Amino acid sequence: MAHTIADIMALTLADAGVKRIWGVTGDSLNGLNETLRKMGKIDWMMTRHEEVAAFAAGAEAAITGELAVCAGSCGPGNLHLINGLFDCHRNHVPVLAIAAHIPSSEIGLGYFQETHPQELFRECSHFVELVTNPAQMPEVMHRAMRAAIGKRGVAVIVVPGDVALLEAPKGATGTFPRLNPPRIVPNAGDIDTLVTLLDEAKTVTILAGAGCAGQHDAVVALADTLGAPVVHALRGKEHVEWDNPFDVGMTGLIGFSSGYQAMENGDLLLMLGTDFPYRNFYPKDAKIVQVDRDPSQLGKRAPLTLGIVGDVGETLAALLPRLTRRTDRTFIEAARKHYASARKGLDDLATPSKPGRPIHPQYLAKVLSDLAADDAIISADVGTPTAWACRYITVNGKRRLLFSANHGSMANALAQAIGAQAACPGRQVISLSGDGGFAMSMGDLLTLKQLNLPVKIVIVDNGELGFVALEQKAGGFLDVNVKLENPDFAMIAQASGILGINVTESADLESALREALAHDGPALVSVKTASYELLTPPSIKAEQAKGFSLYMAKAILNGRGDEVVELAKTNLRLALPGL
């Protein structure tokens, strides 16, 4: 019996090791659905929103390192994928999106649900192509998959529903030769130059990002050799922070003062596998060397003294034998002392609240970290949940962390947890969700129930878009349009057939989290947290201090003095530890 184009697509994906396709079906996907049903090798993972499908595929790819797949029906269906695909692409994970399309004879005629997917997906993909003739397959499929795997990002194939049902070319097979990501070895001359620059620099600071994955020991060895503090970017935390006596925390808006100062005070900044985006946190006077496998990333954020194209592992393997261990440890010892002080200051904030007071989110994150499994996968929503996670969730080389780190989209945590749990059914998966982010994707609670995924959701319920409110105050504005009238999230979970628990007192937090984490199935814990918790940046500039002063003056003049009092009550312990 002859194969259809849909058959070739499914067989090719199965041969490549794909185990599931995330999406919401529609009639333009009938051919693919029927093939999957008959073949029985790939599971269709139905979500309640296509954006969740794309985020879930991205999380699966991030955790497994393998190609993951999502699909959307024609027009609005595949258009809903786009936000999640932007996140996948900017997180550099291999994802193939199948965008079904309107009947091929109607393209360009303003047909029902018509869009132009090739144009819409171009900015969030390495490859996007429309299939209108069976003769294009399976070559277009192969090119898309190679682009996603080889370039570490998104590829999209656009297939009209009628084309998917057509007979495949004679001799077409559903095979895919396995493709391993390439090793990128740095130029020997660049290593020579780097050795000279490091020898000449009195002090060196390392900024480590996601490109350091799998290179923990090499980064620690380099830091030891150079006597260099290691500052980690958000996505570098899980790869370099643990078991590292040279780590001094993060920098950036949600970082540590010790990380910020280590970058400011070094003569040379060595960037390893990071595209840290905040220009105003780069040192003004230091020489900067950047190592990245993608040449287009070099020098994007700050002027470079040297840019090196290469994998971090290959670069350090070539560099380390050329260096002599420094005996002067003054710089690293000062940086570590600063880090110890900064770490203590943050830990002192992770304390229970007095009875009747909202729970400090720092305490919530710390207790969650203490109770989570050693190999837990934890996703965190954009905004304050990400800040609390990066400051208080400890890593150990086995735990994994998922963020919308570069795209910065709300509603990422639950969707990423769904994808991670499906890929790793034997591991504990936790979504640290903001109330705003969770409400945005709340419909996919039903996905947890329907797919029987035992994800544990912990909601930071502070009744507002917390990070946005903080930014408004820091800019000298009244916090407006950020308050949230939330439902009882635990009751919504219970109505969905999921364990739901409300926590309003610090004394009840640990037992509630223990119950949820031990539950055999999905569970939700909604934690009432303080709305006026300040997230202190690593360096408070004059304009930020001025902004907060303006905010307080405006609040009082506009009859909102009670908010200023609550802000002071909640954050007085920043100035008076122990309260």
Give me the CATH number covering residue 217. Answer: 3.40.50.1220
Torsion sign across C-alpha atoms 271, 242, 385, 264: negative
Query: Which residues lie below 8 Å from residue 335, measured CB to CB, with a gap of 6+?
Result: 205, 229, 248, 258, 261, 262, 265
366 plus 217 within the same structural domain: no
Neighbouring CB atoms inside 10 A of 200's CB total 10
d(CA 77, CA 353): 45
Q: Cis ω on the peptide bond leading into residue 138 (within 30° of 0)? A: yes
d(CA 499, CA 490): 8
Residue 229's pLDDT is 99
pTM of the entire predicted model: 0.92
- Give yes or no: 127 in active site: no
End position of a domain, from candidates 304, 322, 340: 340
Q: What SS3 state is found at 324? A: coil
In order of 64, 80, 157, the CA distances from 97 in angstroms are: 17, 12, 7
d(CA 399, CA 330): 32
204 plus 119 within the same structural domain: no
424 plus 531 within the same structural domain: yes
312 plus 405 within the same structural domain: no
| Residue 440 domain-assigned (yes or no) | yes
Q: Which structural domain, as residue segments, surrounds residue 271?
A: 188-340
| Residue 271 domain-assigned (yes or no) | yes
Catalytic residue among 34, 106, 113, 314: 113
End position of a domain, from candidates 340, 364, 395: 340
Task: Fill in the amino acid letter for 105.
Answer: S
**Six-digit token string for 301:** 């954020």
357 plus 330 within the same structural domain: no
Q: Do 55 and 87 touch, CB atoms closer than 8 A?
A: yes
The CATH code of the domain that includes 376 is 3.40.50.970
| Residue 173 domain-assigned (yes or no) | no
415 plus 390 within the same structural domain: yes
Spatial strand order of the sheet with 499-503 comes to 400-402, 377-380, 429-434, 456-461, 523-528, 499-503
Helices 384-392 and 361-371: angle between axes, nearest 10 degrees:
50
399 plus 525 within the same structural domain: yes
Q: Do 367 and 513 touch, CB atoms closer than 8 A?
A: yes
Number of domains in the chain: 3
263 plus 336 within the same structural domain: yes
305 plus 369 within the same structural domain: no
- Give yes or no: 50 in active site: yes
Spatial strand order of the sheet with 204-208 comes to 247-250, 230-232, 204-208, 268-272, 287-292, 306-309
Residue 63's pLDDT is 98
- Give yes or no: 264 in active site: no
**Residue 359: beta bridge partners?**
529
Neighbouring CB atoms inside 10 A of 136's CB total 18
380 plus 522 within the same structural domain: yes
313 plus 366 within the same structural domain: no
Q: What SS3 state is found at 67? A: coil
| Residue 180 domain-assigned (yes or no) | no
* pLDDT beneath 50: ranges in the chain: 540, 544-546, 548, 551-552, 554-557, 560, 563-568, 575, 577-579
95 plus 199 within the same structural domain: no
In order of 424, 487, 521, 556, the CA distances from 436 in angstroms are: 27, 11, 24, 27
**Of 245, 234, 238, nearest in space to 332 by CA:** 245
End position of a domain, from candidates 284, 306, 340: 340
d(CA 223, CA 232): 12
Residue 538's pLDDT is 58
In order of 72, 190, 198, 317, the CA distances from 305 in angstroms are: 45, 11, 12, 21
Catalytic residue among 127, 256, 467, 489: 467
First-last CA distance in the chain: 76
| Residue 330 domain-assigned (yes or no) | yes
Question: Residue 314, by phi and psi: left (phi above 0), alpha (psi -120 to 50) or beta?
Answer: alpha
d(CA 226, CA 332): 9
d(CA 316, CA 15): 35
Residue 562's pLDDT is 52
d(CA 345, CA 341): 6
d(CA 405, CA 234): 7
**Residue 432: beta bridge partners?**
380, 458
Give 125-129's long-range contacts (Cβ < 8 A, gap of 24+).
125/85, 125/89, 125/97, 125/153, 125/154, 125/155, 125/156, 126/89, 126/151, 126/153, 126/154, 126/155, 127/155, 127/156, 128/155, 128/156, 128/157, 128/158, 129/156, 129/157, 129/158
- Give yes or no: 119 in active site: no
d(CA 537, CA 554): 22
d(CA 166, CA 180): 32
- Give yes or no: 467 in active site: yes
| Residue 332 domain-assigned (yes or no) | yes
Q: Do 222 and 320 touch, CB atoms closer than 8 A?
A: yes
| Residue 175 domain-assigned (yes or no) | no
Q: ∠ CA(536), CA(278), CA(340), 5° rounding?
A: 45
Q: Do 30 and 74 touch, CB atoms closer than 8 A?
A: no
Neighbouring CB atoms inside 10 A of 133's CB total 13
**Six-digit token string for 162:** 């009628």
Backbone angles phi and psi of 47, in degrees to 5:
-105, 175
Catalytic residue among 382, 458, 503, 525: 382
Report the greatest alpha carbon distance in the chain: 79
DSSP string for 123-159:
GG-SEEEE--SGGGTTHHHHHHHHHHHHHTSEEEEEE
| Residue 516 domain-assigned (yes or no) | yes
